[in-house]
Structure 1
Amino acid sequence: MTNTLQADVAVIGFGKGGKVAAAALGRAGRRVILIERSDSMYGGTCPNVGCVPTKMLVHHSGKRRPDDSPQEWFEHAIGEVQQLTSTFRAGNYDALNNADTITVLTGSATFVDEHTIAVGNVQVVAETILINTGSEPVIPDIPGLRDSPRTVTNVDLVHGKELPGRLAVIGGGYLGIEFASIYRRFGSQVTVFEASPRILGQEDEDIAASAADILTGEGVEIVTGARIVEIRGEDTVVYEKNGREHTLTVDTILAATGRAPAVAELGLESAGVKLTDRGAVAVDEHLRTSRSHIFALGDVNGGPQFTYISLDDSRIVLDQLLGTGKRSTADRVAVPKTLFMSPPLATIGLTETAARADGRRIRVAKQNVADIIAMPRAYIVEETRGMMKFVIDADTDEILGAALLSVDAQELINTVALAMRHHITATELRESIYTHPSSTEAFNDVLAN
């Protein structure tokens, strides 16, 4: 027997954008049904298998002392992570399900038509629908990779309690480098395979080289220009470099080659919702799909795969449903991102390479962290590795981009982003008064170069 539930708004997916929108719409008196496929994912990727557990592992990996057993310390860290994520998951569920206007429904959602969603034996009929199903790891089509029991994704790693003795990471981008840094600091032997001539190919060569030096200094082996030929048996990585074939036997293989929008189970064709050529839900600048009453928020719409972008997506959708309808993705400028290696790498805007290719007149201000006199905090916390770099418009003195590979970079980049959004010049940022000793006061030195 099929039960039918009526709603003003149905939200598919309990990620950041979906839950924020659901809460706001519920407070506004709308009848909301929030559908989540798994009871282990209330709150979405970030608090369960993404940002929160990985950054907590970064924290714990840095606390291990030389005499600590790597396996025991890793088990302790995973236990702490699971306790925290469980607390967050319960808090997310209770915060919404306990609201009078919101119901959380657990199960896989499939469109029946453009206003109807099937969830098991329940049909949800809604005037407005928000799709917030996020993304999922992609395992590349390498012979033997998908069949090997040693192959894992980032989701598998944050659930596993066994520290790999030797970990192979396929992919030298943000995800691969972050996990390489974490697991090396816990005590694993880590090898990163990257097909390109260097890791972090989207960054300037000097920044990428500085990051590589930090990683190799900690014992991470980086093999660039490597083509993975196959996974032989279940534990042997066969790769080609410089025309020669090599092998490496490992305990675990992390596929870190990207994530794709999670749309396979939604039955979008039944709702007439179109996809892009890359498999994301196609949306306009207001995040409306090909059906004007259906919106797509977060990773599923093919935008930048960051929790804070999903949050901003919710603001755009809420402005459509409750506000003036003027806010759009075109309003976004100076959006930062951070790679949580140790120390973190935070970037924003144009690289030097991109700015020069664009024909801009620029000046570059950069300095190694160890040489920044005005940044004693780096010495206080015993983390002097890295580099700070700014790309500045030579005519307007405005900041076009920055790469901060340093302690506290994940916080510093937000100050730079605010300056860029409000057209605060490099000179103003350089001459500002900052607390002491802090990492921010490094700007006093670096921007004087």
Structure 2
Amino acid sequence: MAKYDYDLFVIGAGSGGVRAARLAAMSGARVGVAEEHRVGGTCVIRGCVPKKFMVYASEFAHHFKTAESYGWSIGESRFDWPAFIADKDKEIARLSGIYVTNLQNAGAELVHAKARLTDAHTVALEGHGQVTADKILIATGGRPWSPPELPGLEHTISSNEAFHLAQLPKRIVIAGGGYIAVEFAGIFNGLGVDTTLVHRGPNLLRGFDDNVRAHAAEEMEKRGIKVVLGCQHARVEKTASGLVSHMVSGQALESDVVMFALGREPYVEGLGLEAAGVAVNEKGAIAVDDYSRTNVENIWAVGDVTDRINLTPVAIREGAAFAETVFYDRPTRFDHDMVASAVFSQPPIGSVGMSEADARHALGKVDIYLSRFRPMKYTFAGADERCLIKLVVEASSQKIVGCHMVGPDAPEIIQMAAVAIKMGVTKSQWDSTCAVHPTLAEELVTMREKFVPADLGAVA
């Protein structure tokens, strides 16, 4: 008889856990998976997929306005929030079902239950007894974080609840400066909601290139989003007419909904990490090595619960690398360098590689190529909307080490730029590519003049 019930037990059926479970099961391993909510995890159920649907829905108002400049007569338009939410939920249910089917077809067994480690080889399943496993993979992802001691926190929502509001609010205050806050600000603003984005820092989107951060905030304000920086909540008060956000500065903002999007934290609560001896790092994330292995020999972790790069494709690649290493005897490490990312703000952002500041600190002298311009589509429409494209180039090798964009289709364009940059393309090789005209993307390969800020002119 087998020593354990399973060769592998996966805790969490999000993108990373499902990929690892499927590949392991297809190797012939006995695989079990526990998921306490719905299969698909944050991305499919309460993250990038439903949020992208909301982005699509919210962009139409902007498209309608632009269409009038191109000769279209636009009649009365009305957005039906309940109908959209119902259709969105149907699609999410369909996608979640596909994940379940794929797991089952691969031969993995799925249990809908909260899982807790009781030792390094034993998992207690709420309402389903316990199982043992030779190897365990933790892929529980992350969850929204809110300040627990804030008075009135119970009157607020997180990004989780934003997908299930019974009705579209007339006014919303969103607290946060990261990509989730910025994206939802664009969504609600586009749907006609009076939107205020408050952030305690001096600028939005910490970690992105400074030119991108400033440009994105400026363009968001042009679209009607009120961006309030250096501002944070002291308390939230419920009144007869809605909610009042009382800020530390003394300012009071009235709204129907207050949404906190202040970041996410690794979901480790109730996992029993201590019982199994699994260590966490200073951020509370599960500590792993380059092969996603924890300090406990038979336990691994992938995805947002490890707080490396919290992106769905990264979790999938980490899960695949785990399975290749452990079940196919092909040691594989996922390379976390030069991973492209997108912010589906309005306008959207695409980014890969180093910011200018990071490159200067790490590499010394760098060359900057920067272009701000009105895209052809909006020039014709008479709209004051500008794109930003920026290249960061290591001066000595002339390798492009960063590419950053703000403007229409930036996420689509950055994917292909990332391929070249990942391969180590130089500026001369980049420039040798003939432009596709007329497109926004052609600006990428036509920038020849180095950008020198006015205050650095004397130094340069």
TM-score, normalised via structure 2 length:
0.88
Q: Does 2:45 match 1:48?
A: yes
Q: Does 2:246 match 1:238?
A: yes
Cα pair distance change 1:320/1:380, threshold 3 Å: farther
Which residue does the alignment assign to 2:21?
Answer: 22
Q: How many angstroms does 1:416 deviate by?
A: 2.2
Q: 1:118 aligns with which of 120, 124, 149?
A: 124
Q: Supply the AA of the counterpart residue of 1:399.
A: I
Q: How many angstroms does 1:94 deviate by?
A: 1.5
Q: Supply the AA of the counterpart residue of 1:97.
A: Q
| CA–CA separation in structure 1 for the residues paired with 2:170 and 2:213 | 27
Which residue does the alignment assign to 2:73?
Answer: none
Q: CA RMSD in A?
A: 2.3
Q: 1:276 aligns with which of 277, 281, 288?
A: 281
Q: Does 2:97 match 1:90?
A: yes
Cα pair distance change 1:86/1:273, threshold 3 Å: same
Unaligned runs of 5+ in 1: none
Cα pair distance change 1:360/1:13, threshold 3 Å: same
Q: Does 2:167 match 1:162?
A: yes
Cα pair distance change 1:35/1:253, threshold 3 Å: same
| CA–CA separation in structure 1 for the residues paired with 2:128 and 2:279 | 26
| CA–CA separation in structure 2 for the residues paired with 1:5 and 1:284 | 25
3-state DSSP of counterpart to 2:368: strand
Which residue does the alignment assign to 2:189?
Answer: 184
Cα distance per residue 1:346-397 (max 9 Å; x no partner): 11222122223446211111112416xxxx5776999953211111112211
The question of whether the paired residues in 1 share the 8 Å contact of 2:220 and 2:347 is answered with no
Which residue does the alignment assign to 1:342?
Answer: 346
Residues 98-247 of structure 1 aligned to structure 2 (within 5 Å): 98-99=105-106, 101-119=107-125, 120-141=127-148, 143-148=150-155, 151-233=156-238, 235-241=243-249, 245-247=250-252
Cα distance per residue 1:121-156 (max 9 Å; x no partner): 3322111111010001001145324222xx111111
The question of whether the paired residues in 2 share the 8 Å contact of 1:22 and 1:34 is answered with yes
Q: 2:59 aligns with which of 59, 62, 72?
A: 62
Which residue does the alignment assign to 2:69?
Answer: none
Cα distance per residue 1:23-48 (max 9 Å; x no partner): 1111111111111112xx21111111
The question of whether the paired residues in 2 share the 8 Å contact of 1:273 and 1:291 is answered with yes
3-state DSSP of counterpart to 1:277: coil
| CA–CA separation in structure 2 for the residues paired with 1:127 and 1:5 | 6
**Bigger mean CA deviation after superposition, 200-209 or 380-389:** 380-389
TM-score, normalised via structure 1 length:
0.90
The question of whether the paired residues in 1 share the 8 Å contact of 2:178 and 2:262 is answered with yes
The question of whether the paired residues in 1 share the 8 Å contact of 2:309 and 2:336 is answered with no
| CA–CA separation in structure 1 for the residues paired with 2:283 and 2:255 | 33
| CA–CA separation in structure 2 for the residues paired with 1:427 and 1:310 | 34
Q: 1:80 aligns with which of 82, 87, 94?
A: 87
| CA–CA separation in structure 1 for the residues paired with 2:219 and 2:441 | 22
3-state DSSP of counterpart to 1:311: helix
Q: How many angstroms does 1:327 deviate by?
A: 2.4
| CA–CA separation in structure 1 for the residues paired with 2:235 and 2:347 | 33
3-state DSSP of counterpart to 1:328: coil
3-state DSSP of counterpart to 2:5: strand
**Bigger mean CA deviation after superposition, 355-364 or 397-406:** 355-364
Q: How many angstroms does 1:281 deviate by?
A: 1.1
Cα pair distance change 1:445/1:232, threshold 3 Å: same
The percentage of aligned residue pairs carrying the same residue is 28
3-state DSSP of counterpart to 2:153: coil
